Structure 1
Amino acid sequence: MSTQNSGPEVPVRRLDRILAFAALTLAALSVICFFAIIIGSAVGMDQDAFAEGVWPIVAAVPMWGLPAAFVMIITLLVMSFARKGRAAKRL
């Protein structure tokens, strides 16, 4: 088994780091909010309690956050593959 790299090392851009951390943060926040809703339902909160306060926001975060995080991850992958492809063509 070889330990050599098959392609050139491509530096990580600031945009890639921001996109990766934003996707990770948004996905983690969505999972936390999802579990908060599950725990709230298990404790016995009724539907009226979920309609007031911060609960509508807590309910909206997983609904919009997980798809947005998925799109960010796919965008990050496409950008990374394109950058590595361009770097390999230069050699």
Structure 2
Amino acid sequence: MSAPTPTGDVPVRRLDRILSFTALGLLVLSVGCFVAIMIGSAMHAEFDRGAWPTVGIAVYIGPIVAFLLIIAVVIMSMVRRARANKAR
């Protein structure tokens, strides 16, 4: 059984919000790039020119980075709660 959480909530830090919204933004960007690739495929676009290589890389890299940011937020939150529980 885990230790009880303190009655007062641990405040959310600015860094946690920045990391969370950055992860959300990266996921939205990745989905948008994926939709752009689908539309480009339907329009028979040439994917080796222009901004298409960047769009293709964003689809692969964005979700991975977003996942790592979410993991970092969760770990930081767990550490902060453990310190708050230890102090009480």
TM score, norm. by length of structure 1: 0.85
Q: How many Å separate the matches in 1 of 2:86 and 2:49?
A: 56
- Per-residue Cα deviation, 1:42-88 (whole angstroms, up to 9, x for no partner): 2333xxx1000010111110111110000000110010111011101
Which residue matches 2:34?
34
Residue from 73, 81, 87 that aligns with 2:84: 87
Q: Percent identity?
A: 49
Alignment of 1:1-91 (within 5 A): 6-7=5-6, 8-45=8-45, 49-91=46-88
Q: How many Å separate the matches in 1 of 2:28 and 2:82?
A: 31
Q: How many Å separate the matches in 1 of 2:68 and 2:32?
A: 19
Which residue matches 1:3?
none
Q: Which runs of 5+ in 2 are unaligned?
A: none
The alignment yields a C-alpha RMSD, in angstroms, of 1.5
TM score, norm. by length of structure 2: 0.88
Q: Which runs of 5+ in 1 are unaligned?
A: 1-5
